[in-house]
Structure 1
Amino acid sequence: MSEIDDDQYIGKQVKSYRALRGLTQKELGDFVGKTQGAIAQYERGLRPVTDRAVLYGLAEALQVNVGDLTGHADDKANPNVAAFHAQVPRIEAALMSQGHVDGGGDPAPLERLAIDAQRALKIRMNNDYATLGGILPNLITDLYRHTLDGDERTQIRAWEELTRAAFVTALATKGLGFTSLAWNAARAAHEAAVTVGDPGGMAAAEFARSQVMLGTPGALRASLTYSAGGADRLQSELTSPAELELYGMLHLQAALTSAAVGDDPGPHIREAVETVRRAGDGSAFELNFGRENVLVWQMSIAHEERKPGAVFDIAEKLNPESITTPDRKSRYFIELGRAHVAKRNYSAGMAALLRAEIVAPQQVRSRAVVKELVGHMLRTAKREVASGDLGKLAQRVGAVAG
């Protein structure tokens, strides 16, 4: 087992960048609204940085990206997602070239591309990044080529499928720390949906743009503009069950962002719950909107409000075995684990995170919040515990050097 000096945690990065910027702990604390003692605890690893506002405030004060603090740069070497990372330059090129490529034969048939676009949505929800990375570059390029050279009917269908392909690209790359690429993909999804006047596609694109902004320091209000504003603008046009599901997802996103900025998320949660009644449980853009999904989101929202007790209350309403997608089920256990750690029930917290890892190992091992929680538990656990399951999990998520 590695010694404490080999631990990988946000506070260690904070200390390094603070020294580089010539800031005292008090000066840094004043910037983010924390005491000098709190900054000292973060830097010593005695207090995990799991609060979005604190993390973003630290990044802004230290003039770095969030990924510089959470370790996204190191995570790109993770063998579970290395194949996707290797495809990022090709994905970027596909979005920038928009089908204007040198040489090559005819694009793949549109029907096959439509199947691949739908398959890509499912693959992302299953966290199979290696497979997804292999699909996206050619999928995006060939769909763009059909928008350039096909007849009117072909062009419309290609734009519709391109909305899906760009949407899944935005969410996948955002989750892996490629913020600029994710933003470009979300914009491409929006442009494709607007081109053919598809309100469902526009709603999905607004959801993606809000997601990217939610992960960007200083852009929470922008995130709320895309989610809440998008829901308001498109409400009268989103009438089919699938479109209503996207309307509900926009309100869930707006609720989460509202909580992050200190506003009341209640109205957006209530609108999402009401939308479940009207739309039912569906799978528009494979987001799996429905009762179970709304409850999992409410757990995340309770964390944004710093109410771990409410997380337990919400979790009791939900049987995790009823959650059909690995992405959502693992998120349920991650949020439950966060609540247990907040209450200093580390054994229950570890058990929940291990359940999450079993369900979706790639997602859990790439989540900065999981690495931070596991490292915190490791530093506060007894030596015999640290050498058991917790220590092994710490190495798998990169909380300590291997």
Structure 2
Amino acid sequence: MDTFVGQRVRTIRARRGISQQVLADRAGLSRSAIAKYETGDRPVDSRRTLLALAQALNVTVGELTGQPEQEKFDPATAGFHMAVPEIETALWSQGNVTDTRPPRSLDELAALIRTATKLRHDCDYATLGPMLAPMLVDAYRHVRDTKTEQAWDVLCTVAYGVASALRARGYQALAWTAAQEAERAAARAGGVAPIAAAAFIQGQILLSRPGALPAALATTMGTAERIAADVRTAGEIETLGMLHLQGSIVAATMDNDPEPHLVEAAEQAGRLTEARPNTSASRNESFGPSNVALWRMSAAMERREPGQVLALAAQLTPTDLPNEGRRAQYFVEIGRAYAMQRNYQDSLYALLRAEHAAPQHVRNLNPAKELVGHMMRSARRDLTTGDLGRLAQRVGVVPTT
């Protein structure tokens, strides 16, 4: 059996020389809960618990989940990880690299951004990875050569996409570097959509850092309040709406009420039909009423309300969701909710549908890996030897034969 979060917690705790009770006190959990996490009797199935354990042990979330180290051995996503050193160089040098290619025009880059965004939303990271460094280099060249608002706008959008992809694949520190570049470019791009996009990705990265939840909320909601009066175009509404959705997840993780943020996001979604056309490359086409409903499910899951998750899921049609990544998220939340109710048969069915929608993403998604591993340890034997056993091999929680 491959290592799960609880095993890493036990290993790190032992190396620190602290007892389960001390760890429980630091994390605000019970000693019995720590014991169940460490033995695998209970999965670490919420962001709040994962962050609390990481903060109590003074480690990163990645050190508890194994991302991205474990994922590097997955042939399906190797193309992305092989591209990371080149992305890192492009960011550190701000595109001043030994690249003799003639740069693509800003219009060509804008078209390529749309292609890259679709790949990222559909979670095809293996195809996306090799595209990112050349896009960064070209965007930086245009900024150096022209210093126009359009060039800064394109750089902001490219850096945002790079940060989002790096964050999703576990490179949090490098993602922050890209997010800072997006913020720097947004300040020179004109308009508010780039500013909102940069704040959104910064909030997402901060959400993965133990102790940084107040900063995540301040970054997203502070920016939303600052730009709200100037939002007019579709892209501006989309990016503002995503800030409120991010605020809802941060609030739920902090055990606060996410509803005010979700209500505001829904109001913004209602403005889209009469919005002005975009003036910036920065936008988030996945935002809309169906996406708000999906994030409402995620907030309920974070608050450990499985019945509410399933009730909300019944009101949402997966085909209404804008891309494969969102459809995968929909089925993962359903799978987690059923598992919390110990309905492992329906949980497995939902996870298989999530995997079908976005295999690269789901097979390396920590909540899915934790859940599949837990089911392998606790479900009926007829499940573990069939579809569940095969899924467990694909997500890497049991060795392949």
Name the TM tier (shorter chain): over 0.9
Cα offsets for 1:172-206 (capped at 9, x unmatched): 11011100111111111111111122311111111
Q: Does 1:106 align with 2:102?
A: yes
Counterpart mapping for 1:81-100 below 5 A? 81-100=77-96
State how far apart, in whole Å, the 2-side matches of 1:77 and 1:103 are: 29
Q: Does 1:68 align with 2:63?
A: yes
Q: Does 1:134 align with 2:126?
A: no
Q: How many residues align?
A: 394
Q: Does 1:210 align with 2:203?
A: yes
Cα distance change, pair 313–173 in 1 and its aligned pair in 2 (3 A)? same
Mean CA deviation greater in 330-339 or 238-247: 238-247
2:354 aligned counterpart, secondary structure: helix
Contact 1:255–1:266 at 8 Å: present in 2 too?
Answer: yes
Counterpart mapping for 1:144-223 below 5 A? 144-150=140-146, 155-223=148-216
Counterpart mapping for 1:330-349 below 5 A? 330-349=328-347
State how far apart, in whole Å, the 1-side matches of 2:123 and 2:11 are: 32
State how far apart, in whole Å, the 2-side matches of 1:63 and 1:277 are: 43
Q: Does 1:377 align with 2:375?
A: yes
Cα distance change, pair 98–24 in 1 and its aligned pair in 2 (3 A)? same
* Amino acid in structure 2 at the alignment position of 1:161: V
1:329 aligned counterpart, secondary structure: helix
Q: Does 1:242 align with 2:240?
A: no
1:399 corresponding residue in structure 2: 397
State how far apart, in whole Å, the 2-side matches of 1:102 and 1:84 are: 21
| Distance apart, 1:118 and its partner CA | 2.1
1:30 corresponding residue in structure 2: 25
State how far apart, in whole Å, the 2-side matches of 1:280 and 1:52 are: 34
Aligned partner of 2:290 among 289, 292, 295: 292
Cα distance change, pair 14–281 in 1 and its aligned pair in 2 (3 A)? farther
Cα offsets for 1:260-296 (capped at 9, x unmatched): 1122211111111111111249996344111110011
State how far apart, in whole Å, the 2-side matches of 1:367 and 1:56 are: 16
State how far apart, in whole Å, the 2-side matches of 1:58 and 1:243 are: 37
* Amino acid in structure 2 at the alignment position of 1:98: Q
1:390 aligned counterpart, secondary structure: helix
TM-score, normalised with respect to structure 2:
0.95
Contact 1:50–1:369 at 8 Å: present in 2 too?
Answer: yes
1:357 corresponding residue in structure 2: 355
* Amino acid in structure 1 at the alignment position of 2:72: K
Q: Does 1:50 align with 2:45?
A: yes
* Amino acid in structure 2 at the alignment position of 1:374: V
State how far apart, in whole Å, the 1-side matches of 2:101 and 2:378 are: 60
1:3 corresponding residue in structure 2: none
State how far apart, in whole Å, the 2-side matches of 1:287 and 1:44 are: 42
Contact 1:337–1:353 at 8 Å: present in 2 too?
Answer: yes
TM-score, normalised with respect to structure 1:
0.94
2:73 aligned counterpart, secondary structure: coil
2:100 aligned counterpart, secondary structure: coil
1:116 corresponding residue in structure 2: 112
State how far apart, in whole Å, the 2-side matches of 1:296 and 1:281 are: 23
2:154 aligned counterpart, secondary structure: helix
Identity rate, percent: 44
State how far apart, in whole Å, the 2-side matches of 1:281 and 1:94 are: 39
State how far apart, in whole Å, the 2-side matches of 1:392 and 1:300 are: 27
Counterpart mapping for 1:277-288 below 5 A? 277-280=270-273, 285-288=283-286
State how far apart, in whole Å, the 1-side matches of 2:333 and 2:175 are: 24
Contact 1:32–1:57 at 8 Å: present in 2 too?
Answer: yes
| Distance apart, 1:105 and its partner CA | 4.7
Contact 1:120–1:165 at 8 Å: present in 2 too?
Answer: no
Mean CA deviation greater in 324-333 or 58-67: 58-67
Cα offsets for 1:19-71 (capped at 9, x unmatched): 11111111111111222211111111000001212111211222222111112
State how far apart, in whole Å, the 1-side matches of 2:286 and 2:212 are: 26
| Distance apart, 1:222 and its partner CA | 0.8
1:79 corresponding residue in structure 2: 75
